[in-house]
Amino acid sequence: TKNPLSERRIKMAAMKFTTDNFDTEVLKSDKPVLVDMWATWCAPCRMQGPIVEELSNELKDVKVGKLDVDENPEIASKYNVMSIPTLLVIKNGQVTQQAVGVHTKEQIIDMINA
């Protein structure tokens, strides 16, 4: 039988980035950050979401989180996010990689390591 608590914990592993915490959690992070720009109404985002959640559990030296573009439009605008899902890899406050659309776990790991 499956333990519903462990499943719930997996679903909540990725951080929730917002306008309020973006500077502290992302730009000033001492480790690379993967930001998944998404929205609740976006079907491809819902496909990308579980992959991002898996990575948040597996990658110990990378901070992984999601930013809802509808709730935080100024961040989406700052990074010229026109289509979602958009993945950003941010190192030392700078975007090092940006990709639009659904990506496999392997593709995302390659982006982080690039």
Helices 105-113 and 43-58, packing angle to 10 deg:
60
Residue 97, classed as helix, strand or coil, is: strand
Catalytic residue among 15, 42, 51, 108: 42
Catalytic residue among 37, 45, 67, 108: 45
Cα distances (angstroms) measured from residue 105 to each of 36, 39, 43, 55, 109: 13, 20, 18, 7, 6
Verify whether residue 80 is a known catalytic residue. no
Stretch 27-31: mean pLDDT: 97
Give 58-70 pLDDT, tens digit per residue: 998 999 999 999 9
Answer yes or no: are the C-beta atoms of 54 and 107 closer than 8 Å: no
Q: Provide the residue type at 68 as one letter.
A: D
Full-model pTM: 0.88
Verify whether residue 45 is a known catalytic residue. yes
Stretch 7-22: mean pLDDT: 76
Q: What share of the chain is helix, strand, coil (3-state, %, to 5)?
A: 40, 25, 35
Residue 10, classed as helix, strand or coil, is: helix
